[in-house]
Amino acid sequence: MPFHSAPLIQRLMLDDLPAGRHPFRFDVLPNGLGQSWQVPVLVYRGARPGPRVMITAGVHGDELNGVLTAQQLGRELDPEQLAGTVILVPGLNPSGMLARHRDFFPGDPDCSSVNFNRIFPGRAEGNSAERYLHRVWTQLLEGNADYALDLHTQTRGARYPLFVFADYRIPQALAMARALGPDAIQDDPGEPGVLETVWNQQGVPCITIEVGGGSVAEPHTVQRAVAGLHRVLAHLGMTDARATPKGCEPVSVPMEGDVTTTVRAELGGMALPQVALGQPVKEGDLVAIQYDAFGAEARRYYAPVAGWVLSLNDDPLREPGTLLVRLLHHK
């Protein structure tokens, strides 16, 4: 069924649905033209009972590897083989997607663009961004999940490997993170306004999954993320692990840490990383070199601590304060 002919819903009511695959358009909020922002929703209602798993992507509009991951998982899921329900929301912020930007863009000239992942669960009487998320939270997400996974990427201009934020105080969140088989996991208690944090506060274990870099398609990382999501569903008892599509074996021992240290540009100019993602570095190792407008070497950057290279810039143009290299390590 094409997107434009899928049923338009104001609220997701899982209990009414029979077993099978159900595509919907969730009608979020009208924009200034009176046309509505519509979000794709795919429900896979299993033939057998089991938990409800909510997988969101595109909260940040330019983090397209997360969207690709959710869409590919949707192409591979078979409700006949499923115990429980998987809900996919592969594109939660169409405003940002169209603008090739992480933010939501209100039509109100009095409002700046908004990072959705700092204002969950929104506000009924707020500005358009807050109202949008209030509709998403109360009518689409809340009450419809026992577990949640939110797909992102690193911010545009930089890259992560396959990397998971998990609150280690929540055993089911940590178990999902390890079942996914990522390159790295950070123990992170969350912060206010982040979707993962809101789910966890509601008693729904949630992890945030970073699928590579922003705005660029990374098919191999997407493939690994999809394989990891299949492993999470098997871990939750929703699919038969033996039926999980082959390929993309999990990383046997992911790098785990509870703190990151970011080396940031001190000057303006082109900067080139001198390390690779996943590389272990010692304190004092060279990690990046920055060049001035003539191309002359202007600054060398060294690791302030020992750690594991979690993120790098792939957009070379860096101004003071911009990320060059992020290291994952222990406190």
Please report the DSSP string for 203-262 in residue order: T--EEEEEES-SSS--HHHHHHHHHHHHHHHHHTTSS-GGGSPPS-PPPSS-EEESEEEE
Q: Are 100 and 67 in contact (CB under 8 A)?
A: no
Q: Specify the residue, 101 or 152, whose C-beta has the smaller distance to Zn ion.
A: 152
Cβ partners under 8 Å of residue 115, min gap 6: 60, 102, 103
Rounded least distance, CB 211 to Zn ion, Å? 10
* Binding footprint of Zn ion on the chain (CB under 5 A): 60, 63, 152
The region that residue 192 occupies, defined by phi over 0 for left and psi between -120 and 50 for alpha, beta otherwise, is beta
Q: Specify the residue, 212 or 228, whose C-beta has the smaller distance to Zn ion.
A: 212
Q: Specify the residue, 63 or 218, whose C-beta has the smaller distance to Zn ion.
A: 63
Rounded least distance, CB 152 to Zn ion, Å? 3
Q: Specify the residue, 26 or 163, whose C-beta has the smaller distance to Zn ion.
A: 163
Q: Specify the residue, 160 or 308, whose C-beta has the smaller distance to Zn ion.
A: 160
The DSSP bridge pattern shows strands 184-187 and 255-257 to be: parallel
Rounded least distance, CB 200 to Zn ion, Å? 17
Rounded least distance, CB 101 to Zn ion, Å? 11
Rounded least distance, CB 66 to Zn ion, Å? 8
